[in-house]
Amino acid sequence: MEKRLEVWDRPGVCGLDNSGNFCYFNAVLQCVCSTVPLVEYLLHPDTRKELARAKCQVAQVFVRLLEQMWLGRSSSCAPVEARSLLCSILPQFNNDSQQDAQELLLLLFNALHDDLKKVGRRKTHSSKHLIQDQDRKCATGLGESTIVSKLFEGSFSYVTVCMRCDHKTHNTQTFTVLSLPIPTHISKCSIQDCLSPFFEQTLLTGAERMLCSACELRKETALVTFLDKPPEILVLHLKRFGCKGKNQVKLRTNVTFTTELDLSLFLSSSAQKTSCTFYRLYAVVNHIGHLNMGHYTALCHNTLTRTWHCFDDSAVRELHDNHVQSPDAYVLLYSCKPFRKPKIPGL
């Protein structure tokens, strides 16, 4: 079912050389490379001009790497510049030890978001009211909107109910990665089994009880979470690295998933009318092996070939749809809008 590719003519399908212990970095970069709306934005000639003017160094490194991966004609490349950028902006990754791909993904999104904010600020100088108008429309917890927050940021609403006086409070919180605890007492469960507890009503007791602002007493509190604004791109992180007593362990529960995900059960009533409900899987980060001796690979769907590929550093092979689901899945990336053939100049 799986075959190694001989002739290389697949834009966006490019292995990444690994000179050290950087498989976690390569796996994350492959997920970024297959996020079509992000790639289109970064490789658009207008964006590139803006990035140069605003001196967005982080984003420009991504641009150069994505250009190689989408427009280069070789089956792999060396992400040397991206790696030295990573080590300079996130010094905690400047060593040869195995790191957490999910943590890196989140920090890279933040770094890219912060860098891209310079473009908006520059524009604010030249055409002030135009940008202020846009900012009001895309107000988020991150303050300023960029392609990163536009694609990846979602929000929850929490409703708490005082069990004594029924007083309700509403709060919201934004997120870019949804970290899901996985059941430990069973060997197999579905992704829905991981999502449901996150959105189930829970009763806060003991030290978790909240102080009610109406009756001014600390009584048992009911807590319900809804997805208020589902993100355009949903990143699910399966919390495989946990603790058993004092020991750190890797949880090996086989979490089953399909390429389609329906979130309608978890949406708030206002979100149900307008927002994304159905998602399609387009990338997976796998973690193989043990807690400290593991290896990361990425499985990504390519919109041109309409097939999946497995990226194991510089080695790339096509993968049958049936082999995407595996017990090694660690981070799952879904999009609610189907990716089209990317509009990249020169493609």
- Closest approach of Zn ion to the CB of residue 172, in Å: 21
- Closest approach of Zn ion to the CB of residue 51, in Å: 52
- Answer for which of 48, 150, 167, 250 binds Zn ion (CB under 5 A) is 167
- Answer for which of 162, 276, 283, 284 binds Zn ion (CB under 5 A) is 162
Which ranges of 245-290 does DSSP label H, i.e. alpha helix? 269-274
CA dihedral 337, 77, 65, 339 (to 10 degrees): -10
Type of residue found at 158: Y
Give the bridge partners for 332, in sequence order.
236, 284
- Sole window of 85-93, 153-161, 205-213, 243-251 interacting with Zn ion (rule: CB under 5 A): 205-213
Do residues 271 and 228 touch, judged by C-beta distance below 8 A? yes
Residue 89 CA to residue 253 CA, distance in Å, equals 34
Pick between residue 210 and residue 288 the one whose CB is nearest to Zn ion. Answer: 210
Type of residue found at 119: V
- Answer for which of 52, 215, 265, 315 binds Zn ion (CB under 5 A) is 215
| Catalytic position from the list 113, 237, 287, 295 | 295
Pick between residue 191 and residue 212 the one whose CB is nearest to Zn ion. Answer: 212
| Catalytic position from the list 23, 33, 162, 194 | 23
Residue 205 CA to residue 163 CA, distance in Å, equals 11
- Closest approach of Zn ion to the CB of residue 209, in Å: 11
- Closest approach of Zn ion to the CB of residue 237, in Å: 35
- Closest approach of Zn ion to the CB of residue 200, in Å: 22
Pick between residue 165 and residue 315 the one whose CB is nearest to Zn ion. Answer: 165
- Sole window of 90-98, 207-215, 274-282, 303-311 interacting with Zn ion (rule: CB under 5 A): 207-215
Pick between residue 178 and residue 224 the one whose CB is nearest to Zn ion. Answer: 224
The full 3-state SS of 36-72, as one line of letters, equals HHHHHHHCCHHHHHHHHHCCCHHHHHHHHHHHHHHHC
Instruction: Based on the shown chain and the rule CB under 5 A, indicate whether residue 211 belongs to the binding site for Zn ion.
Output: no
Query: How many other β-carbons are positioned within 10 Å of the β-carbon of residue 227?
Result: 27
- Answer for which of 195, 212, 235, 276 binds Zn ion (CB under 5 A) is 212
Burial class (CB in 10 A: 0-12, 13-18, 19+), 240: buried
Instruction: Based on the shown chain and the rule CB under 5 A, indicate whether residue 203 belongs to the binding site for Zn ion.
Output: no
Instruction: Based on the shown chain and the rule CB under 5 A, indicate whether residue 214 belongs to the binding site for Zn ion.
Output: yes
> Which of 300, 305, 329 lies closest to 316, judged by CA?
300
Pick between residue 123 and residue 164 the one whose CB is nearest to Zn ion. Answer: 164
User: Catalytic residue at 295?
Assistant: yes
- Closest approach of Zn ion to the CB of residue 207, in Å: 18
Residue 110 CA to residue 107 CA, distance in Å, equals 5
Give the bridge partners for 241, in sequence order.
250
- Sole window of 155-163, 190-198, 225-233, 258-266 interacting with Zn ion (rule: CB under 5 A): 155-163
The three-state secondary structure class of 155 is: strand
Instruction: Based on the shown chain and the rule CB under 5 A, indicate whether residue 161 belongs to the binding site for Zn ion.
Output: no
Pick between residue 165 and residue 265 the one whose CB is nearest to Zn ion. Answer: 165
The full 3-state SS of 110-144, as one line of letters, equals HHHHHHHHHHHHHHHHHCHHHHHHHHHHCCECCEC
> Which of 146, 136, 132 lies closest to 42, judged by CA?
146
Pick between residue 163 and residue 249 the one whose CB is nearest to Zn ion. Answer: 163
Subset of residues 275 to 294 that bind Zn ion, contact rule: CB under 5 A? none
Interface residue list for Zn ion (CB under 5 A): 162, 164-165, 167, 212, 214-215
Residues with a known catalytic role = 23, 295
